[in-house]
Structures are given as structure tokens and as C-alpha cells.
Amino acid sequence: MRQLTFALWLLLIPAFVVAQEASVMQQIKTEGIENSQVMDIAFHLTEKSGPRLMNSPGYYRAMDYSIDQLKAWGLDNVAKDEWGDFGKGWELKKFYIAMKSPWYKPVIAFPKAWTSGTNGLKTAAVILIDPEADSTALVNNYRGKLAGKILAMDKLIEYKLDDKADLVRYTKAELDSLGAIQLDKKEADTTGMAERRRKWIQSWRESRKKAEILGNLAKEEGAVAIISSSPRNHDGTVFVQQGGSHAMDAPENFLDIAMALEDYNMIVRLVRANEPVELELEVDSQFYTDQEKGYNVIGEIIGTDPKLKDEVVMIGGHLDSWQGSVGATDNASGSAVMMEAMRILKTLNIKPKRTVRIGLWGGEEQGIHGSRGYVSKTFANREDMKLKPAHEKFNVYFNFDNGTGRINGIYLQENEAARDIMNKWLSPFEDLGATTITIENTGGTDHLSFDGVGLPGFQFIQDEVEYNSRTHHSNMDSYDHLV
Amino acid sequence: MRQLTFALWLLLIPAFVVAQEASVMQQIKTEGIENSQVMDIAFHLTEKSGPRLMNSPGYYRAMDYSIDQLKAWGLDNVAKDEWGDFGKGWELKKFYIAMKSPWYKPVIAFPKAWTSGTNGLKTAAVILIDPEADSTALVNNYRGKLAGKILAMDKLIEYKLDDKADLVRYTKAELDSLGAIQLDKKEADTTGMAERRRKWIQSWRESRKKAEILGNLAKEEGAVAIISSSPRNHDGTVFVQQGGSHAMDAPENFLDIAMALEDYNMIVRLVRANEPVELELEVDSQFYTDQEKGYNVIGEIIGTDPKLKDEVVMIGGHLDSWQGSVGATDNASGSAVMMEAMRILKTLNIKPKRTVRIGLWGGEEQGIHGSRGYVSKTFANREDMKLKPAHEKFNVYFNFDNGTGRINGIYLQENEAARDIMNKWLSPFEDLGATTITIENTGGTDHLSFDGVGLPGFQFIQDEVEYNSRTHHSNMDSYDHLV
């Protein structure tokens, strides 16, 4: 809780557009420390709502809650904001899986989103699939053999002993080194990073294509499920995302279940040792097709200065999550911090001259859809780069989406001109450790939607805490993992 | 694999009773490295057999395998060895649990051993129990309220961020400090350790008594289950042991399910927030009452020297495990290493002058029953300390039961007289790091059965690896966590 409170002081910087007086800053700090509601907001977004997979009931519960809450605090123009087409929602209604023979063992696993169910309780033998088989070989070698079977790749996943703590924080040296990078001296790509990335994307596409072919074959043949694993899935933590397209016109994806490597490897080893392995499983998942559109939540505090109120300072984070848990660090933390920032401004009756607006985005996890849609219709269309009038009135966007760690500073996104402003802006928060300004880019989330049409959009430098080791897109992204 | 191989070289020290020649040592090392079967033995004891809870089918599968294997290698007098009464076996036949409302979430959990089932699929609301209520208040306050309910203590379990690596190895300084302890200079108990331990035992007994009263009340009233958690149950790892007595005449214990703290806390928080939380669950567990006796596995290589063959050098580890996984580090590792040691002696046709005997113990987890029973009937009865003839012919017992870590040396169990012998004995293994000899005691496992009747019984100093952090008595004590 301490760290979320901590983070939001920094986010209350929009207040500095109204008043730089020390007394206001002090009021904000006091409200944030003594009357913090951030963990209560986070509780409502997570455990009260459930997983917030886009267009699923959990997403809409969180959306309704945040709209009600922002209205209750007295924000202006609070509304669900349509940003365009998204596609189907999906929700797990029942999930049971266990190894039934050679002996009984409950298995730790989670179905991938937008995959179909088993249509009741099934018992099925496991068949191992040659991981080296290309698309043609898959079809040739396995046609006629998959009916009633569960498919697993004939490949053991390497378990690596945890020789590092899950908890990761920046060291001073790391932050200093981030801060010291200079734009004109940034090294050219001598290490072949771009080439490696290109190869990685190519190999990812190939493996996706093969997975699709296998899924289609399994479906055609009447198989029961595919199970899969990865080196990160250990100790009971399972990372799980989508099992195919969520587009409204896409067919239901074949059932694909992410599994803890300990259980997955056990199954592979037993089948290799000629044990007849049978799993017992029941998956009931529901697709929601009544609503193709996607919605964000938008609300604002309209500026009080008639000349300045058309200017907008914006803060935000994404409201949606993956399905394995309740998206606590990805990204209820960001949404809760941003909502709490707005609450404090209203509670203290701070009247900004410019308009302060909050955006809680949908569909971030499937490609920052919500913020892109909002930016496109509000500021500039990405396709033709035609600017709308609001574009020139837009001041800045601050995004919060990197877990639950302390804010150490900010990424400039290679915008050297912003350094001086950020320096002044962060100065009241030096005592909280928010001192590092780096010219570097950081990617992967909603500030890119602003950055992409020439609007200043920034993300903070946050300690990872357990983001990469445990919580990010896993079944452990739960309320207790919030700091 | 490397480390298990490593460990067993050391255990082949019984060979030194036959031949100290360097050539024999070299042969043993070569066989252990180049033809190691230790991981294959471990696979049979773990994933092929299943959990080896005492008197359950998994235990008997592992027992049959090890008897067959020891016989196949040509050991003498291989047999299941009755050591007295144990009680019931128990096995999980089906386990499903999920939160059904306010929204659906599969929950990570595992039933405690020797608890009963649900008699089919049940849906039940959660009721929170005051953790401060004493036995009388429990009965007075909750009688009439528990029918059809699932009981949870109204107490959140603190989640602590993992700020240390799971992997733990001894540092040189720690080993040096262990080695430097002197018996006559061991400090008196000025820190109140004994007093703290006494208090801990008292508090443990009280909480067991309260749990028993609650379990009986729940059973009487027709509740569905109790759920419980602890600070160690995080990231999907769940530590789980017994839920009551396994004695043949004990009634079936009421269903008690150990749960991951993330899920447990979520349930408690939602009920506190007046959400009607319902769980859906099905537990089918089978009690085995056909066999009250407990059995170890014993086998030996009879010594070749007519004058010395009545003298016995013994090695061993326990074969049984808890139910949450396959007891890989506790203690398939120890059993596999000891079996592999015997295999190597036979494979190399080494003919010891004294008899070398292996004991694979049952019922260790419920109180080192198997080794105690064996020692009692073979060497000396603990009750009257009447020594049997074999007592004076007994040389030494080496036990292996501390996970999968490297052997750094040995505990002398305060037997200073053994220091010189151990020093000589360990000297060929200096290059493997087995150099520390400490006067300290180590407890908790089968060497105590020997020590308790005045026979030299020793345990090794092993690196913890993930023993305390992940595997020991948890659902993660799986094959992949073997090093």
C-alpha cells in the first residue's frame, strides 16, 4: 500500500498546473497518506470485479464501478467511451483438470482465453506430437490419430532453479546509468538487436501458424484439448494469455490449456515411458458476442480558466487484464493510482485552470486498442495523420502500467526537449526517490498511442518488484501481490 | 542429476570397509558418472509410483519397485520388513475446487491427508470463524450455523515479497563456522531456545486441539469442508500434510483443505465485504484399512570375511512421502542415492568383508516409525533399552534425507570420538567439497532411531537448495525440482 500511495503523489503533478504552492502539495500528500483509498479502489477493480478480459463480464463490472466512483467523486463528463470494434468477450465458467491414470493427481493449469470447452467431463489419453514436424508433416503424420486425444508436444521444458529473488528493484547504479544516456551518443545498433528482434518475430509467427494448423487439425479430428507449457510456469505459477483470435467473425479456437511445467513434464515423461496417461478434464467457457464495440472510461475535471480550460492534461492506465487472475499489477495498480489521483483533487476541491482528464483504457492487452481508438478519434487519425483541433490544445499524457513498484523517475521517449520541464516537475518528489530522467524509450503500453501521433506521452520508471518473475500475465497477478 | 551423482560417491564410503585402494574408488566414481542410474531410479520412485503416503497404493508401488530392483541387482535377503502397527492408508481419487460466486475462479489447493470427501459435487457458502474464539466459544457461537457451509478462519495471511532466491547453498563462511563449533565450548542455552520451543509445542498442541474441536463440530453439524492457509503457501505452492490421525481406530477426519494464500485471502476479503462467496468442490478420498502393519524395505550384500560378516554397515533413507506431490526431494532423492550406491557395489562386483545393508524406511513422515521399529526389533528396544546381540556388531548408519543439495560434510551428533574417523573417511572426497565436520546435532529423520539406542547414526550436511522455500512437504516436491 505504501508504494501505491507513494506513486500517486507523483501523479498528482497535474495539480502543479493549478498551483505550485507548497501548501497545496502538502495537502495532497496528507490526503494521500492519511486518507488513502487506493487499496480499496484496487480491491473493487480486482477481487470484486474478477478478471477483466476485454469484453468479458469482469471488464464491465470494473467499468461500471469506476464510472460510478468517478461520478460520486464529482468528476465532469464521466462516461463509457466507445473506441471502435473489438470483438468477442470470453469467460471461464468451469475448469477441472487432473491426471487420472497411472495414478491420480490434480494438475495446475489454466485455459487460454478465447478457446472453447470440452462439452462436459471427458477422460482422454495423451498423445505426444513431434515438435520438429513442420505444418505438412503435422497433417500427414497425425491425421486419423487425434480423435478423443489430448495433444502435448514431445518436449520437456527445462526447469531452472530460482537463483534470484522474485523481488527486483533498481539499484542506484542502474538508475544513474539510465539517467546518463545521451540521445546523440546513443550507440548504433552494433549488437544486432534489430536483427534478433526481426528473427524472434519471424519465429513467433511461424510457431503461431503451426499452432493454428495443429489446433485446426485437432478440432477437425475431434481431439479433446491441447496442453502446453513454458519455462516460466513453475512453482504453481502459470502464465496464460490468448489461444487465438477474439475477432467477432473468427471461429472458436480449439481448447489450449497452459500448464505448470512440473505437471507437463511429468505427463511427457510418463508417456515416453509407455505409461498410458489419461487426463480427466472439464472446461466450460462462454463467448460473449452481443457486444462487438470496445469501451474506455473517460472523466475529467474541467479547467476553471476560460482561456486555458480547452487545454488538457491527461493521466491514465488500462482497465483490462488477462484471465488467469485479477490483473492486480497489470493493471489495476495503474488504474487505481490514477483514480485515486482524481479523487484527491476533487476531495481537496483543487480547481485546475486547465482540464485534467483520466482515461481508463480497454483492450490494451490485445494491442493498446482502447487508447489508440480514443487518440484516433480525438486527436489525430494514425492512418492519414490528419490532426484534429484538440491536438494542438493537448499538453501531456502520463501513463501508469508497470506493476506495483516504486516510481524512480520517467522515460523521455527520446524527447530531449522535455528534460528541463520534467526536471522541474519532479523536483518536489526528490525525497521520494523520483529523480531519474532517461532519454530512453519504453514501450508496450498506452502512452505509445499518444506518442504515435506526435503528442507527448510518458511512462514512469518503476521498480519491477515481481512483475517479470511472477505476476505479469500469470495466475498470480492477485491482490496480495500488490505492494 | 549432477548433484545426486555427486552425493552418492560419498555414500559409497561403505566400500572403504572392503578396499581403500585408489583403483576401487576410481571404478566407483567412473560407474557413478558414466553409467549413473540415479535419475531413472528417482523417476520410478516418484512419477511412476505417485505420492508415497504411508500405507497408500503409491507407497506399495514404490516398495515393490525397489524390492524388484534390489533383487535384480543381486542383493541378498531383499524383503519387505514388517516393523509394527501403522494404521490407515489414504489416497486422493478426485479433487476439484473453485470459487463459483461472485465470479468463477479455479482455486489452488490440496486436501490434507486422512480427511474425508464431500460425497459428490457440492456448492457451499463460506462462513468466517472468529480466530480468537476458544474451544467453548467455538461450540457456543457456531452450533446450528455450520450445516452446508465451508469454514474459514476470519484472518488474512500475510504475503511477504520473495526478497531472497529460492535456491540456498551454504557459503564457505557458514560451513567454516559450523565446523569450528566445539563440544565443550558450546554455549549454554542463554537465548532461551528450549523455552521458546516448549512454548511453540504448547501453542501447537492448543491449536491442534482447537482444530479438532472445530472439525468435530463441523462434522456433527453437516458442514462441507474447512479451508486453511499459511504464509508459505504462495505463488501456487501449497504445503500440505495430515488433517488428523491415521490410527486404524480413529474416526475419519473432517475434510480440511490447504489453500494458496492468494485464493484464501481473496475469499476472506470478499466475505468481509459482504459478498456471498460460494465455492464449488468435489473431493473423493479413499481410506485403506486392509493393512494395519507398516513395512520397510531391507536388503544387503553379505560380507565375505567369515569373522567380519556379522558386522554391519548400514545406509538408508525413507521411502514414504506426503501426498501433495511425489516426494522427490523428500525423500526419493535419498532413497535413489542409497539404491544407486548398492547398485554400483554389485555392478562392480565389489565384495565387502563386512555386511553392507540398505534400509528404505516407511512412516518417517508421521514420526520416523519405520526405522524406529526396525531398530527396536533388531538392535535394542527403546522402552527398556535391552540390547540385542546385533547391537554390538553394528558399525554405523548413514542417512540421506535433506533434499537434493550437495553434500558438504557430516554432522557428528555431538560424538567427538567420531571426528578422526570421519576426517579420514571424507578425505577422498575433499575435491567434491565434502570437507566440513561439525559436532552439531541435526534432527528430524531416521538416523535418530539409531542414535536413540546408542548406535552411531549420522546425517550429512547438505545444501538446502529449494527445500525450505518450495519443495519440503509441498505440492512442488516434484521430479523437476531434483538437481
Average pLDDT (A446-458) is: 93
CB-facing half-sphere around the CA of A282: CA atoms within 13 A: 11
H helices then E strands: how many in chain B? 13, 16
pLDDT at A24: 84
Is residue B231 predicted with pLDDT exceeding 50? yes
Nearest to A91 by CA among A314, A289, A302: A289
Phi, psi angle pair for B78, to nearest 5°: -75, 125
d(CA B238, CA B220): 28
Phi, psi angle pair for B299, to nearest 5°: -155, 160
Residue B153, C-alpha cell as written in the block:
478462519
Nearest to B236 among A326, A466, A475 (CB): A475
Alpha helices in A112-165 (DSSP H): 135-142
Q: Give A280's strand partners.
A: A98, A123
pLDDT at A34: 92
d(CA A89, CA A149): 28
pLDDT band at residue A176 using 50, 70 and 90 as cut-offs: confident
Nearest to A43 among B105, B161, B269 (CB): B269
Is residue B261 predicted with pLDDT exceeding 70? yes
Give the ipTM of the model, two decimals please.
Answer: 0.93
CB-facing half-sphere around the CA of B22: CA atoms within 13 A: 0
Q: What is the pLDDT of residues A397-413, one digit of tens each?
A: 999 987 888 888 899 98
Q: How far is B1 from chain A (nearest CA, A)?
A: 13
Q: What is the pLDDT of residues B207-221, one digit of tens each?
A: 888 899 999 999 999
Burial label, B315 (beta-carbon count in 10 A; 0-12, 13-18, 19+): buried
Mean pLDDT over the full length of chain B: 91
Nearest to B478 among A110, A237, A266 (CB): A266
Tell me which residue has cell 492512418.
Answer: A383
pLDDT band at residue A368 using 50, 70 and 90 as cut-offs: very high
Angle at B160 between CA B155 and CA B163, to 5 degrees: 175
DSSP per-residue codes, B73-99 = TT-EEEEEEEEEE---EEEEEEEEEEE
Tell me the residue type at A300: E
Is residue A7 predicted with pLDDT exceeding 50? no
Residue of A nearest to B91 (CA): A104
d(CA A11, CA A177): 24
Q: What is the pLDDT of residues A125-174, one digit of tens each?
A: 999 999 999 989 999 999 999 999 999 999 999 998 888 888 888 888 88
Nearest to A163 among B104, B165, B236 (CB): B165
pLDDT at B12: 52
Residue of A nearest to B157 (CA): A480
pLDDT band at residue A9 using 50, 70 and 90 as cut-offs: very low
DSSP per-residue codes, B196-247 = HHHHHHHHHHHHHHHHHHHHHHHHHHT--EEEE--TT--TT--B--BSS---
Average pLDDT (A92-105) is: 98
Mean pLDDT over the full length of chain A: 91
Residues of B in contact with A94 (CB under 8 A): 98, 104
Tell me which residue has cell 462441507.
Answer: B224
Residues of A in contact with B235 (CB under 8 A): 166, 235-237, 470, 476
Residue of B nearest to A166 (CA): B162
B383 CA to centre of own chain? 25
Nearest to B165 among A49, A165, A280 (CB): A165
Share of chain B above pLDDT 90, in %: 69
Q: What is the pLDDT of residues B35-72, one digit of tens each?
A: 999 999 999 999 999 999 999 999 999 999 999 999 99
Residue of A nearest to B167 (CA): A163
**Three-class SS state of B402:** coil
Interchain CB contacts (distance < 8 Å): A and B: 158
Q: Do B270 and A105 touch (CB under 8 A)?
A: no
Name which of A41, A96, A159, A282 to mutate to probe chain B: the one with the most chain B Cβ atoms within 10 A of its Cβ.
A96
Is residue A361 predicted with pLDDT exceeding 60? yes
| A393/B440: higher pLDDT | A393
Residue ranges of chain A that CATH labels 3.50.30.30: 91-162+207-286
Name which of A468, A478, A479, A482 to mutate to probe chain B: the one with the most chain B Cβ atoms within 10 A of its Cβ.
A478
pLDDT at B422: 87
pLDDT band at residue A12 using 50, 70 and 90 as cut-offs: low
d(CA A458, CA A476): 27
d(CA B462, CA B3): 10
Average pLDDT (B21-31) is: 83
Of the listed ranges A217-226, A237-246, A267-276, A412-421, the one predicted with least confidence:
A412-421
Give all strands of the β-sheet with A109-111 in edge-to-edge order: A105-106, A89-101, A278-288, A122-129, A149-153, A225-228, A256-259, A109-111
Distances (CA, A) of A408 to A3, A434, A447, B395, B404: 11, 4, 18, 63, 40
pLDDT band at residue A21 using 50, 70 and 90 as cut-offs: low
Residue ranges of chain B that CATH labels 3.50.30.30: 90-162+207-287
CATH of span B90-162+207-287: 3.50.30.30
Q: Which helix (H) or strand (E) holds A176?
A: helix A172-180
Average pLDDT (B253-267) is: 98
pLDDT band at residue A435 using 50, 70 and 90 as cut-offs: confident
Q: Do B57 and A466 touch (CB under 8 A)?
A: no
CATH of span A91-162+207-286: 3.50.30.30
pLDDT at B2: 40
Residue of B nearest to A52 (CA): B103
DSSP per-residue codes, B141-153 = HHTTS-TTEEEEE
Average pLDDT (A226-244) is: 95
pLDDT at B181: 84
Is residue A11 predicted with pLDDT exceeding 60? no
Share of chain A above pLDDT 90, in %: 69
Is residue A233 predicted with pLDDT exceeding 60? yes
d(CA A418, CA A426): 12
Residue of B nearest to A106 (CA): B95
Q: What is the pLDDT of residues B429-465, one digit of tens each?
A: 777 788 888 888 888 899 999 999 999 999 988 888 8
Report yes or no: A12 and A324 within 8 Å, Cβ to Cβ: no
Q: What is the pLDDT of residues B290-316, one digit of tens each?
A: 999 999 999 999 999 999 999 999 999
Residue A306, C-alpha cell as written in the block:
476560460
Average pLDDT (B374-392) is: 93
Report yes or no: B122 and B282 within 8 Å, Cβ to Cβ: yes
Q: Do A235 and B238 touch (CB under 8 A)?
A: no
Q: Do A162 and B166 touch (CB under 8 A)?
A: yes
Q: What is the pLDDT of residues B96-153, one digit of tens each?
A: 999 999 999 999 999 999 999 999 999 999 999 999 999 899 999 999 999 999 999 9
pLDDT at A208: 87
Is residue A414 predicted with pLDDT exceeding 90? no
Nearest to A315 by CA among A289, A335, A345: A335
Is residue A124 predicted with pLDDT exceeding 70? yes
**Three-class SS state of A411:** strand
pLDDT at B100: 98
Spell out the SS3 assignment of A229-277: CCCCCCCCCCECCECCCCCCCCCCECCEEEECHHHHHHHHHHHHCCCCC
Is residue A2 predicted with pLDDT exceeding 50? no
pLDDT at A19: 46
Report yes or no: B316 and B445 within 8 Å, Cβ to Cβ: no
Q: What is the pLDDT of residues B66-80, one digit of tens each?
A: 999 999 999 999 999
Is residue B11 predicted with pLDDT exceeding 80? no
Report yes or no: B359 and B394 within 8 Å, Cβ to Cβ: no
d(CA A238, CA A256): 13
Residue ranges of chain B that CATH labels 3.40.630.10: 2-87+291-481
CATH of span B2-87+291-481: 3.40.630.10
pLDDT band at residue B3 using 50, 70 and 90 as cut-offs: very low
Is residue B185 predicted with pLDDT exceeding 70? no
**Three-class SS state of B78:** strand
Peptide bond into B331 cis (omega under 30): yes
Nearest to A237 among B49, B92, B235 (CB): B235
